[in-house]
Chains A and B, each alone.
Chain A
Amino acid sequence: MIFALISEGVDTIFGYPGGQVIPLYDSLYDYGQDIRHILVRHEQGATHAAQGYARVSGKVGVALVTSGPGATNTITGIADAMMDSTPIVVISGQVPSPLLGTDAFQEIDVIGITQPITKWAYQIRKPEEIAWAVSRAFYIASTGRPGPVVLDFTKDAQVGTLDYKYSKVTHIRSYQPAPEPEPASIAAAADIINNAMRPLALVGQGVILGGAERELKLFLEKADIPAASTMLGLSAMPSGYRLNKGMLGMHGNVGPNRKTNECDVLIAIGMRFDDRVTGNPEFYARQAKIIHFDIDLSEIGKNIPADIAVPGDVKETLPAVTALLKPAVHTEWISKFEPDEQEEYDKVIAPMLNPPADAPLNMGEVVHRVAQAAGKDAVLVTDVGQNQMMGVRYFRYDCTRSVVTSGGLGTMGFGLPAAIGAKFGAPERTVCLFVGDGGLQMTVQELGTIMQEHTNVKIILLNNRFLGMVRQWQELFFNKRYSATTMENPNFTAIAEAYNIKSRSASTRAELSEAIAEMFALDEAFLLAVEVATDSMVYPMVPAGAAISNIIMGDDNNE
């Protein structure tokens, strides 16, 4: 198994040993110079770390856990990777094959549990299967629309011996990673775009996963098409880019959300029309012709019907369409984003970035200040909730693969382990984690991993002593009945200190400035515990079930 992993280029594993993987860990002991093993503090952390590693590096993340509870603890991370198309391979130990089905100690039906939430799940029962299964696992996880693969590895297969021979899988007859581009649909898409007066492109994570950032730029520029990203598509285009009109969806930017319902051609590129992006599909872009580029045929027409489907890898299909485009200029259409941008700036952004001097700190300004100090190549990692929305809205992206966040599953507790994985995936980049007081406490034990590995992650805790996003919904939609959302919190800097991690708390702007400077001056992990306003809200907001153009701009000015 270790040879097979080395053959696949694995250099980092996030894991946690246990009874049924002791033989595997024993072999790992001899190969420490080839594979670095990061001992996490909980198996969920291993999967999220593998995700963080994969998202920034583009390589397959690997988690190694024991059977039974070790395996069931990985379920959240596996499901998260499935929803967010993240290539990870999770190797779980399993009881010896003669004991399968006997309810042996720490036996659980891992394949049965994980099949619905993996791209592929396979139980290795014989040593002869190892090379084949590992190669197939990495091929499946990383090709086409990426996703998680589980290898359930019985103990007897771990201790069996054989002459090792490895051959890399290059095809599987029942699996077509990417559909062949169709010349007819490419021509049809180009024709519609050539006749568009008000085109709008929606950029999803497919562009990043396909490594098609440059192809996207050439496509947008040739036909002068404004574009906006889904949350997971962020950083496919730099923040300041002329045609980048921001983020789509529930807490996205006003311009692209409104323009979705004003454009005449909507071009979706490697995105899946998640309900957080579309709002109510009955009122979504009904006026527009919709072109949908996707590598996954089951996504086309799943949520929003497409007028033209362009199946295939966007790295191939985008340039094919670009070649057929006539150069165009849409200056007037693009200028129509400006009033929306101005309105959002005036009503939402400016009050957040320039608050009255005596007002408590707010999340937006903290993110903004950290982003300014973090440098150009910083990676943003977030947890889930208000910290996430504020993080993705107010951070700046200069290069691709700069956002690690849990989109589809919305996993609280994702942030801290994912940040650790991201740092291992991109050691030369600064990793900034924004996390709430709720989410941090869901996986706070991973501070131990940081302590042991000296992982240089910058943890910015946005502590509002509330489960802020639920509180926001309670304020807006449940008559301010704050059921189970107040948090009595521990002393977070004392916790950091206990783990030998430098920390500071900040509750004023002066303290914040000093603390940020100190955090980035240090070449080690840092916890910056910021006390932020308890009652702040994330705006703009499109209420769940409303039309995407129906945007709440603030506490008392519903559109």
Chain B
Amino acid sequence: MNNKQLFTVIVFSENTVGLLNQITVIFTRRQLNIETLSVSPSAIPGIHKFTITTFVDRDMIDKVVKQIDKRVDILKAYYHTDEDLVYQEIALYKLSAELFTGMNEVEALIRKYNARVLDVNSDYIVLEKSGHYEETQALFDELKQCIGKGVLQFIRSGRIAVTKSRIERLSDMLAAVEDKIQRK
């Protein structure tokens, strides 16, 4: 049972106040850390999508997701392992203009990591890189090693993900619910 791995929980909810709290207390009560969290409106108007990652064993994630799914304002909650998903994170790096441009291999570095330059001025340069955690971390590590304090700020978003499955479960579920209501 004690086989912890990274699971990605995807939750579709109504857009009501206090939903995040309802979800996070379910993790807190079981002493689970949320590694990353991303919330935004989904493709369907009025429905919000939460993408949450957590290290946990399969038995526990199954119970946690059932508890989330049970909440009245939650439409549906699913959990996935990395193999089920195409996923991405985005990172921003604010770098000292002086130290960064003083590096020898700026072009090579940007090419190697496929990073984008978002802003440049005499004080700082902002790079953007999207990728898996290890990839955004690798660029950070290399910058830190090369220019140290020249890395002025670093921020990484929570994971966002789409499923590889060909079945779009939420729209199917909503259709079934609508159908049931019609039949009544």
Interface residues of A (CB under 8 A from B): 111-112, 115-116, 119-121, 123, 140, 170-176, 296-298, 301-302
Contacts and interface: CB of A to CB of B under 8 A. Distances in A.
Contact of B25 (A111, A115, A140, A174): A115
A111 B72 contact: no
19 contacts: A115-B18, A115-B25, A116-B22, A116-B25, A116-B29, A119-B72, A123-B17, A173-B177, A173-B178, A173-B181, A174-B14, A174-B75, A175-B73, A176-B177, A298-B63, A298-B66, A298-B70, A301-B62, A302-B63
B13 interface: yes
A529 B57 CA distance: 53
Contacts of B69: 297-298
Chain A interface SS verdict (over half) = mixed
B25 A175 contact: no
Interface string B154-184: 0000000000000000000010011001001
Interface residues of B, number: 23
**What 6 pairs across the A-B complex have the smallest Cβ distances?**
A298-B66, A174-B75, A116-B25, A175-B72, A120-B72, A298-B70
B31 interface: no
Nearest to B68: A298
Contact of B21 (A115, A123, A172): A115
B181 A171 contact: yes
B11 to A, nearest CB: 11
Contacts of A174: 13-14, 72-75
Nearest to B76: A174
Nearest to A298: B66
Contacts of B18: 111-112, 115, 121
Contacts of B62: 301
B67 interface: yes
B75 A173 contact: yes
A88 to B, nearest CB: 16
A243 to B, nearest CB: 32
Among B13, B177, B184, the one with the most A-chain Cβ atoms within 10 Å of its Cβ is B177
Nearest to A171: B181
Contacts of B174: 173
A174 B173 CA distance: 10
Among A112, A115, A296, the one with the most B-chain Cβ atoms within 10 Å of its Cβ is A115
Contacts of B67: 298
Among A115, A120, A298, the one with the most B-chain Cβ atoms within 10 Å of its Cβ is A298
A296 B66 CA distance: 9
Contacts of B73: 120, 174-175
Contacts of A297: 66, 69-70
Chain B interface SS verdict (over half) = helix
Among A112, A176, A302, the one with the most B-chain Cβ atoms within 10 Å of its Cβ is A176
Given A173-B75, A298-B66, 12 more contacts: A112-B18, A112-B21, A115-B18, A116-B25, A140-B72, A173-B174, A173-B177, A173-B181, A174-B13, A297-B66, A297-B70, A302-B63
Given A115-B18, A115-B21, A115-B25, A172 B66 contact: no
Contacts of A298: 63, 66-67, 69-70
Contacts of B177: 173, 176
A172 B13 CA distance: 12
Contacts of B72: 119-120, 140, 172, 174-175
A296 B184 contact: no
Contacts of A171: 181, 184
A298 B71 CA distance: 11
A291 B122 CA distance: 71
Nearest to B22: A115
A140 B25 CA distance: 21
Interface in B57-106: 62-63, 66-67, 69-70, 72-75
Nearest to A140: B72
Nearest to B67: A298
Nearest to A112: B21
Contacts of A140: 72
Among A120, A171, A174, A301, the one with the most B-chain Cβ atoms within 10 Å of its Cβ is A174
Nearest to A300: B66
A175 B69 CA distance: 9
B63 A296 contact: no
Nearest to A117: B25
A102 B25 CA distance: 24
Interface in B130-160: none
B70 A296 contact: yes
A116 B67 CA distance: 11
A116 B24 CA distance: 10
A297 B77 CA distance: 13
Nearest to A139: B72
Contacts of A119: 72
Contacts of B63: 298, 301-302
A111 B174 CA distance: 28
A302 B30 CA distance: 13
A296 B70 CA distance: 8
A116 B62 CA distance: 19
A304 B75 CA distance: 26
Among B25, B66, B75, B184, the one with the most A-chain Cβ atoms within 10 Å of its Cβ is B66
A302 B75 CA distance: 21
A172 B177 CA distance: 9
Contacts of A116: 22, 25, 29
Nearest to A297: B66
B1 to A, nearest CB: 12
A531 B178 CA distance: 62
Nearest to A299: B66
